[in-house]
Amino acid sequence: MGCPIRNVRSKKKIGNNADPLGAGAENFLEVFEFYPANTINRQADLLMQSPELAETDRRKDVSPGIADAVTFEDPKGTPLDIFAEYKFAKLDGIPSIFNILKLGHVAYRVLDVQQIVKFYCEVLGFRVSDWRGDFFVFMRCNTDHHTLNFIIDEKPQLHHIAFEVIDWAEIHKAVDYLAHNKVHLVWGPGRHVIGHNVATYHRNADLVRVEIFTELDQMNDEALGYFDPRPWHQEFPLYPKLHGPETLRNYWGFGSERIIEGYQTNELPKYGAIRG
């Protein structure tokens, strides 16, 4: 079938947890916004007619910012909300240590990557940006290289959540602030080859991996079909592709080992005291 929902922009909502860096996997759901040109009523009708969806629901006052949404589940059982308008909270005037632009993407471990890709492409109109082998996919719904990642795993669960900041300087401030509060990195800083985002990873109090990133690849012209050229790209132009097993996790080299303590396990990282 075709893609009944177009021009989807991705937002993510983290349960009832007010702290974006303290999100627990059990509280997570996805929230997608489509452009106001598509009315919520039309999108609701299209979704309810979709044979891929076993059940859909119309909800009011989903959150303080969302008055009307269509709710359903994806094949892995994650609740999804589709909405057209969002009311942002008023500025509180409290200065931030570092500034997060948005919750940029979410990554999941799943049993069947192909099933998930089919659903998000055919039902929600996502597009595939890149594959790593046949087990790791990066998908976009706007100009960002990816807003969702899915990787095969025997135990389905949240893999990580990723917050975008404006530049390197914000990452610098973020990791200094985290270290000051005894929250240490488990990976990075480094530049990924797939997506080319500069990123760091740490674990929050719920042991969820949290990425802070900047400089993610952008595709501003879908008709051209390649990502906006950047000096650190390995190919010009850079089209979506299948990446082989030789692809480094970190373009700069360090941290590309297959197993990194604290990154691929659910154990707490072991760190010595850095403050008195």
**Domain assignments of the chain as residue spans, ordered by start:** 8-83, 102-243
- In the CATH scheme, what is the code of domain 102-243? 3.10.180.10
SS3 150: strand
Select from 128, 241, 126 the least CA-distant residue to 193: 241
Fill in the DSSP letter of residue 244: -
Residue 17: is its pLDDT beyond 80?
no
Task: Give the sheet arrangement for strand 8-14, strand by strand.
Answer: 8-14, 28-34, 79-83, 66-73, 56-63
Task: Please report which confidence band the pLDDT of residue 30 belongs to, taking 50, 70 and 90 as the band edges.
Answer: low
pTM for the full predicted model: 0.81
**Max Cα distance, the chain (Å):** 61
Q: Which one-letter amino acid corresponds to residue 51?
A: P
Residue 25: is its pLDDT beyond 50?
no
Alpha-carbon gap, residue 98 to 215, rounded angstroms: 17
pLDDT of residue 256: 54
List, for residues 46-90, the tens digit of each pLDDT value.
776 777 777 888 889 988 999 988 888 999 999 998 888 888 888
Alpha-carbon gap, residue 114 to 151, rounded angstroms: 10
